[in-house]
A and B are shown apart, each in its own frame.
Chain A
Amino acid sequence: MSVNKEFVKFDKVDKSYDGKVLVVKDLQLDIAEGEFITMLGPSGSGKTTCLMMLAGFETPTNGEIYLDGNAISSIPPHKRGIGMVFQNYALFPHMTVYENLAFPLRVRKIPKDEADKKIDKALSMVSLQGFASRMPGQLSGGQQQRVAVARSLVFDPQLVLMDEPLGALDKNLRESMQYEIKHIHESIGVTVVYVTHDQSEALTMSNRIAVFNDGKVQQLSSPDELYEKPVNSFVAEFIGENNTFTGEVSEISDQKCKVKLSNAEIMANPISVKSKGEKTKVSLRPERALINPKDKMDNIHNGKIEEVIYHGDHTRVRINLLGNPEFILKVPNSSANLDIKLGNEIKIGWNSEDARALDPK
Chain B
Amino acid sequence: MSSETKQILTTDGIPLEVSLKKAERKNKIKAFLLVAPLLFFLIITYVFPIGDMLFRSVDDKMVTQMLPKTFKAMETWDGQELPDEEVFAAFHEDFIKLVEDKREGKLSTQLNYTKNGFKSIIKKLRRKSKTFEEGNYKEQIMSVHKRWADVEYWRAIKRRAPEFTSQKYLKGMDMYVNEEGKIVSVEEDRRIHRVLWLRTLEIAFFVTVFCFLMAYPIAHLLATLPMKYSNLLMICVLLPFWTSLLVRTASWMILLQQQGIVNDFFVGIGLVADDNRPEMMYNKTGSYVAMTQILLPFMVLPLYSVMKTISPSLMRAGKSLGGTPFVAFWKVYFPLTIPGIGAGCLLVFILAIGYYITPALVGGASGTLISNQIAFHMKSTLDWSFASAMGLMLLSGVLVIYWLYNKIVGIDNIKLG
Contacts and interface: CB of A to CB of B under 8 A. Distances in A.
Contact of B322 (A78, A87, A94): A78
Interface stretch (A22-30, A101-109, A257-265): A101-109
Interface stretch (B79-87, B147-155, B308-316, B386-394): B308-316
Given A107-B322, A155-B322, A78 B317 contact: no
B324 interface: yes
Interface in A83-109: 83-84, 86-88, 90-94, 103-104, 107-108
Contacts of B311: 88, 90
B322 A90 contact: no
A156 B322 CA distance: 12
A141 interface: no
B61 interface: no
B313 A87 contact: yes
Contacts of A92: 314, 317-318, 331-332
Interface in B319-344: 319-325, 327-328, 331-332, 335-336
Mostly, the B contact residues are helix
By size class, the interface of chain A is 20 to 34
Interface of B: 311, 313-314, 316-325, 327-328, 331-332, 335-336
Contacts of A103: 318, 321, 323, 331
A82 B335 CA distance: 25
Nearest to B310: A93
12 contacts: A55-B316, A78-B321, A78-B328, A84-B321, A86-B316, A88-B311, A90-B316, A90-B317, A91-B317, A92-B318, A94-B335, A107-B321
B314 to A, nearest CB: 5
A78 B316 contact: no
Nearest to B317: A90
Given A94-B335, A107-B322, A84 B327 contact: no
A140 B324 CA distance: 30
B322 A84 contact: no
Given A78-B321, A79-B322, A94-B336, 19 more contacts: A55-B316, A76-B319, A78-B323, A78-B327, A80-B320, A83-B320, A83-B321, A84-B316, A86-B316, A88-B311, A90-B317, A91-B317, A92-B332, A103-B318, A103-B321, A108-B322, A151-B321, A155-B322, A161-B320
A104 B321 CA distance: 5
A67 B331 CA distance: 28
B124 to A, nearest CB: 74
Contact of A90 (B313, B331, B335): B313
A161 B321 CA distance: 12
A108 B327 CA distance: 12
A87 B316 CA distance: 12
A179 interface: no
A81 interface: yes
B102 to A, nearest CB: 70
A77 interface: yes
Contacts of B325: 76, 78
Contacts of A91: 317
Contacts of A93: 336
A77 B320 contact: yes
